[in-house]
Amino acid sequence: DKYVSLCSCEVERCMCTMQTGTQMTKLKGKKKGLVRFFYLDEHKSFSIDSIHEVCEGKRSEMFRRYAENRFDPNCCFSIYYGDHVKSLDLVSTIAEDARTWITGLKYLMAGISDEDSLARSCTWLRQTFSEADKNGDGTLSIGEVHQLLHKLNVNLPKQKVRDMFQEADTDEIQGSLTFDEFCSFYKMISTRRDLYLIMISYSNQKEVLDLQDLARFLENEQKVRMSQKTHTELLLQVKFKKFKKILIPAGDIFNPEHNQVNQDMTQPLCNYFIATSHNTYLTGDQLLSQSRVEMYAYVLQAGCRCVEVDCWDGPDGEPIIHHGYTLTSKILFKDVVETINKYAFTKSQYPVILSIENHCTVPQQKKMAEYLKEVLQDKLDLSNINVHECKKLPSPEILKGKILVKGKKLPANLDPDAEEGDVSDEDTGDEEEEEDIRPFIEVNSFNHLNIAYLKLHFYNSPSRKRKTMRLSRALSDLVKYTKSVRFASSWQVSSLNETVMNQILQLKPAELVRLNQRQLLRVYPSNFRVDSSNFNPQLYWNAGCHMVAMNYQTEGPMLELYRAKFSSNGNCGYILRPKFLLKNDWFFSGAFNPVQEDPLPGHKKTQLVLKIISGQQLPKPKDSMFGDRGEIIDPFVEVEIIGLPVDCSKQQTRVVDDNGFNPMWEETLVFNVQMPQIALVKFQVWDHDPIGRDFIGQRTVAFISMMPGYRHVYLDGMAEASIFVHVAINDLPGKV
């Protein structure tokens, strides 16, 4: 906040210095470093909104490893940016320059997070104007405007463009547009006819809406009542400009109340889906990629609440973290714990689960326990939680600000004075090799998934060699509510890989739902995913699996689903599971089967009616062969419901030829959905091509987070691109 409240003269000084540029040294491993000139510019190497953090001093791994005794710390700073949290480590000549950049970047980052649509629009227009000004004279000629329109996918007759150009060109210097004139020109070409038609349909064909008309529009279409504040601000009539502001940006399809925590957080932990990371330390694949402590900062700030720590014996008695038996690099356990301590609660106050996969000897386990207690301190202290009062697992609300250690625990019958003891693989939930349990499940027909029986007869079978390890009392004692076991009862956590989970889902889906009503279950990717790819998390959410572990380092469609899921509760890392997945709901308990055509008999179905009206400023595909000079796109919209198998479906609009700037579809898509409480809705825009289609952009929203009425679906990662839709959600009685 202090960067937002800086005086304007200080901010202006920082911005001027950064735009002018500063000579600094870029740290490059063991080499001396590269002396380079750094400055702010729209033709950037990376954008301000991709920056996660700016750190003062020598706090990055690069500084600690290669520059411990070099450079004045006051001249050093690091910028963490991008999806894989790369670091740019810089050293200025004087401390004042470093301070200017740290202050300026943090100010810009604060501005990005609170920026409203108008500010974004102005920034986008300024950048677009600058990029179109090819000769750098500060104005746009008619030729430069034609090139820009082609880039923006605008297909207008040349004479019409010339007429609008001349109308906007109002100053004494004719034949070119200044920035202000360009804004006027842009306003002409971007007039929203679709919004205008909606307005006059409620105003009895008049150019203004009176307050009664507006109230009728808001109640009938947007399903909201006009507030007294809105009533006061709008006075007596609403012209088109004001009406636009009601739908842009306030008309986002995502419910603004869901940007904050809005669900009951006082239920037991096992009633929630928990955002969970797999191989948190890795930046890429599982064989050769780098392990970095910064990845823990990245996932925790992305809302993740369960991180994985693979611990091995390291040199000099220091435990290390890496992917065992591979060429991935190694990082210190202590550095990871310090990073977790720093970032655990910057995004969310709800508990963090530290999932420890322990491969260390007892001496280094003691070191791990020592670091955990020394660094995390009262974050580990659960003494104020009365176990007997709880009877069930504590709630996220009670555990705010706490870190739970998930790991192996010594047997209860072990001598309490023993400093260490043996634990076998039946007492562990660690990740292991792929195993086929289908023959066992098929041979043994049982009414519910009897975990104790499965543990006894399958995992302890003579053909399966039991493994044991020594466990330190100090580390075991840190495990409270999240003991790792192969299969569990209440207060324990089981971990199963996707291969085993898919077998259970195929053969005993309803029993798996009931298992998830009794205990926590973690699902992690198959060992065969050496590229760190991600599975579809929806399969496991459908059955109520609490901790579906994802490779956060791997961007793509599956991680987009994950983000959409957890966005619906303020991205706090916890989502309350629907009632039909909870044990304490007498009506639903035991009746739900996620793979049946009628998953919950007697439950009301829902109809989603989506009218896809228009698109705005849809760009060319990123991998377009000719870039901005490529052909104007032919867009269409595809909408997909992702949920229970019976609900999964896709529909698409027709193709609009040669118009990516303001295509009009005016098409209605209808979806019947059995369980909207667990479904996601994915909007994708494609460019039709004679030999296929090219991806333009997407936005995924949890069904429960969609707002009714006329809404804009802003595409992820794109400044101005959106599609305009009308959303209607209706209850349907009986079967669909």
Residue type, 153: N
Q: How far is CA 516 from the centre of its chain?
A: 24
* Per-residue buried b or exposed e for 491-528, using 16+ beta carbons within 10 Å of the residue's own CB: bbbbbbbbbbbbbbbeebbbbbbbbbbbbbbbbbbbee
Sheet with 51-56, side-by-side order of all strands: 34-38, 22-26, 86-92, 76-81, 51-56
- Does the annotation mark 448 as catalytic? no
Measured distance CA(681)–CA(538) in Å, rounded? 12
Quickly list DSSP for 645-674.
Answer: TTT-EEEE-PPPTT-SSS-EEEEEEEEEES
* SS3 of 414-466: CCCCCCEEEEEHHHCCCCCCCCCCHHHHHHCCCCCCCHHHHHHHHHCCCCCCC
Q: What backbone torsions phi and psi does residue 100 show, to the nearest 5 degrees? A: -60, -45
- Does the annotation mark 322 as catalytic? yes
- Among candidate residues 258, 278, 323, 712, the one labeled active-site is 278
CB contact at 8 A, 305 and 345: no
Measured distance CA(181)–CA(145) in Å, rounded? 12
Angle at 324 between CA 321 and CA 325, to 5 degrees: 145
Measured distance CA(540)–CA(537) in Å, rounded? 6
CB contact at 8 A, 607 and 673: yes
Angle at 717 between CA 711 and CA 720, to 5 degrees: 50
CB atoms within 10 A of CB 46: 12
- Among candidate residues 84, 322, 323, 712, the one labeled active-site is 322
> Residue 162: left (phi > 0), alpha (psi -120 to 50), or beta?
alpha
Eight-class DSSP state of 528: T
The Cα-based distances of 502 to 271, 283, 438, 512, 520 in angstroms read: 22, 27, 10, 11, 17
Angle at 330 between CA 324 and CA 332, to 5 degrees: 115
411 preceded by a cis bond (ω within 30 of 0): no
Of 699, 698, 536, 679, the residue nearest 608 (C-alpha):
679
Measured distance CA(407)–CA(34) in Å, rounded? 44
Measured distance CA(261)–CA(281) in Å, rounded? 28
Local structure of 318: helix, strand or coil: coil
What amino acid positions are annotated as catalytic residues?
278, 322
